[in-house]
Chain A
Amino acid sequence: MEVDAGDEVEARPRSSSGSRGRWRKVLYGGVQEGYEDNYTGTKYDEYTFLQEMVENANVRKRSLLIVMRDSVAVSQHACVVGLVGTVWTHALNGHLGAWTLLQLDAVLLVLGFMTLIVTNENLRPASLGRHAFDFTMFVVGLYILAPIFQTLTRSFSSDSIWASTICLLLMHLVFHDYTYTTVEPTSIELDEAVTNLASPTTPRSRADYELLLQTKRKQRSTPITFSANVSLNASIIASVLIASRLSQSLLVFAVMLFSLEFFLLFPLVAHHMRRRFLHFHLAFSCVLIGITLFLIYNLNYLVFTFFVIVVFFITVISPYELIRIEKFKDEITGPWDEAKLSFSVGVSLSLAVMGSSIFKAT
């Protein structure tokens, strides 16, 4: 253990001993003969410094077209808000009668339910009946409450109502769960999770895997996040505020129903439509965007220009920007990272399976 006292700290081996062995990346056995403690593995050693570091391992190369395709869902939702806003304006101006709007509501409702039946393979007749019953109760409740909504904000000025409505709609747009329509679990990810659970010696039954797989899909496809709830509530409050400025209670009911169809039911329909018929959904979105822009064009040029810019920004500029700044991504992973468990941690397997069977029963 000789060390020259005045020696500078050097990252090269000490010169005192000639017969030094190979440096190894181990901690036991004290100081390695011939190497200082600050010796850093070089390419001549078994281990080079930072050899196991991996850069950008989890970064997925995105294709511009796919990002643009997925962004349509976002601009579609912005247009939904625009569409509902247009209908509100027409109803407030008296251009839209209560019966016309009610007929429109009915048509949209039937179309929506038909789309759900076609696209959602999990929907069974029994549960469909239950859904229909729930929805009827909901509509009846709305009808009874309509007169109350009508007088709710009588003591406020229209300006403050419009201002708060716009704020609420912006909040709705910001917190809306866009991933619900776009993202779905890739099957590779799920398969990996299941294989990792499997033991080489005592494989669990295939049925277990299926159940687990389904549970995972359920967990991913129906996420209930806090922000999504905030978003939904903001849109409903906005609808109530607008409805409260209308002259007759039937119109209040019609407008409320229209808003709820779009804010509450439409995301569900869009989600299933997209999962089943991706291209149809794309075409449908484009048509919806077209209709909205046309309606807004007839309403106000300024708002129209604004909407065109928004749609262009969402579907063209944002994806392009995302792809462009992707090359600055510098993610570092290595052996020092906390290992990620590949199976569900919070819910044990048994609970997951139980949960999925309960879901099936309903």
Chain B
Amino acid sequence: MNELRRRHRVLMVSDFFYPNFGGVENHIFYLSQCLMQRGHKVVVATHAYGRRSGVRYMTNGLKVYYIPWLPFYLQTSFPTLFGTFPIIRTIILRERITLVHGHQAFSTLCHEAIMHARTMGYKTVFTDHSLYGFADIGSIHMNKVLEFTLADVQHAICVSHTSKENTHLRSRLPPEKIFVIPNAVDTAMFQPDPSSRSQDEIVIVIISRLVYRKGADLLVEVIPEVCSLFPQVRFIIGGDGPKRVRLEEMREKYHLQDRVEMLGAVAHADVRSVLVRGHIFLNSSLTEAFCIAILEAACCGLLTVSTKVGGVPEVLPSEYIVLAEPVPARMVAAVAQAIELVPNIDPFAMHNKMRTLYSWPDVAQRTERVYHHAMNTENEDLLERLTRYNACGAWAGKLFCLVVIIDYIFWQFLQWWQPAEEIDIAPDFQRHQEQAADGTGEVVNGSLDK
């Protein structure tokens, strides 16, 4: 029981954090908030976003280090292997971190931080938020990098069972070291509102970036078919992207201007107001580790029609979702089925059910257990770690070992150059310490510091 009350001091590392917006950013923020309410200390490290550089405090004193490090491609920081070591070490020592938690496989900062933390002897946990293939050159490279990082983490967390299989195959991490903890949704933010629905027609809402991977091309085929089959159906499309032109072309070609409303990009704060106008939510993604969008839609009481890809089938109970293969004809059939089911759906009952199924405090509690497990693993010396790296491949293994050895030497140099005793300890943010003692907080719904 003593262990259960144990407080961790966690450093969340990822290239993806606010003001950037997406599933990973949300996950880190809500997880951090709930962990803080459970009495842990959480610090976030990410790279600088434009002029947003240095240290910031967010809701409830969540401390964020924006490391002045240039992003070079899709918001990932430039990979230097050792360049981030001094600052990561300083942050870890200043904040008296006990555990480093990295997020997202294509965040270079996360990989580097995990490697440095392991060199310094800290326990590490890694969360994988997306799925990768095995065939193209990009994936082959990413998978090797992941294998390197995961060779030495204590535990990995995946957001769905499919993602767990994927991560296991990509990194050869034993399945029992991989935990499945889904994302959640802030149910209070997504209340249903049937009064804003239109009574005499059925509105299908689509909110997604209009890109190939989100299946925008599938929508181009599906929407005209559905419109011609069901005269009472209207579409609302929220989102922007390169495929928007194709959708607009489709709308003009089939004269659907009055039946397909295109809103353009929708800010996350406005998503609910768009969702509650609809009866059915349509998700056309071609790949998805865990689909937050359908969770938000279900929370607003919408019946979901989705492609049967990745982790999507695991997300919702079967009575709230109609799944179909990503083929236009099947999708049209699924929409038809959903239109039949809609009158039987009670949005409030659905919302209340969703409240019991997903919550951030639950996610935080489960993540905390992973931390406990990670802290209970044995400490290993450099040689034991090297054997594991060496097992990663005939050539890659040697290369990995070399990188780790250099990192170790660099660490020794840093310890001589800037001894730990000379680094000032940062005082903790005091406000919620006493409240956190009971360990059962609610999701903090505070405004985001934008």
Contact = CB atoms under 8 A, between A and B. Distances in A.
B180 A336 contact: no
Interface residues of B, number: 75
Give the interface size bracket for A toward B. Answer: 35 or more
A11 interface: yes
B357 interface: yes
Interface string A282-302: 000000000000000000000
Contact of B217 (A31, A200, A345): A345
A47 B131 CA distance: 20
Contacts of B6: 5
Contacts of A338: 131, 133, 213, 286-287, 309
B44 to A, nearest CB: 23
Nearest to B130: A336
Given A338-B213, A348-B220, A332 B134 contact: yes
Interface stretch (A22-30, A216-224, A314-322): A22-30
Given A5-B4, A9-B373, A196 B179 contact: no
B182 A334 contact: no
A29 B356 contact: yes
B255 interface: no
Nearest to A197: B328
Contacts of A59: none
Contact of B160 (A27, A198, A332): A27
Contacts of A30: 357, 359, 362, 366
A104 B287 CA distance: 59
Contacts of B357: 28-30
B365 A1 contact: yes
Contacts, number: 155
Q: Which of B4, B161, B164, B217 is the most central at the interface, judged by chain A CB atoms within 10 Å of its CB?
A: B161
A201 B372 contact: no
A355 to B, nearest CB: 15
B326 interface: yes
B253 A341 contact: no
A202 B181 contact: no
A336 B217 contact: no
Contact of A26 (B164, B286, B314): B314
B246 interface: yes
A134 interface: no
Contacts of B317: 26, 28
B315 A10 contact: no
Nearest first, the 3 A-B pairs at minimum CB distance are A5-B3, A11-B176, A27-B182
17 contacts: A6-B3, A6-B376, A9-B155, A25-B314, A27-B161, A29-B356, A37-B181, A37-B370, A38-B177, A41-B161, A50-B165, A53-B169, A331-B134, A336-B132, A338-B287, A339-B326, A341-B215
Interface of B: 1-4, 6, 131-135, 155, 159-166, 168-169, 175-182, 212-213, 215, 217-218, 220-221, 225, 228-229, 246, 249-250, 253, 286-287, 289-290, 307, 309-311, 314-317, 325-329, 332-333, 356-359, 362, 365-366, 369-370, 372-373, 376-377
Interface of A: 1, 3, 5-11, 25-31, 36-38, 40-41, 47, 49-50, 52-53, 196-202, 331-332, 334-343, 345, 348, 350
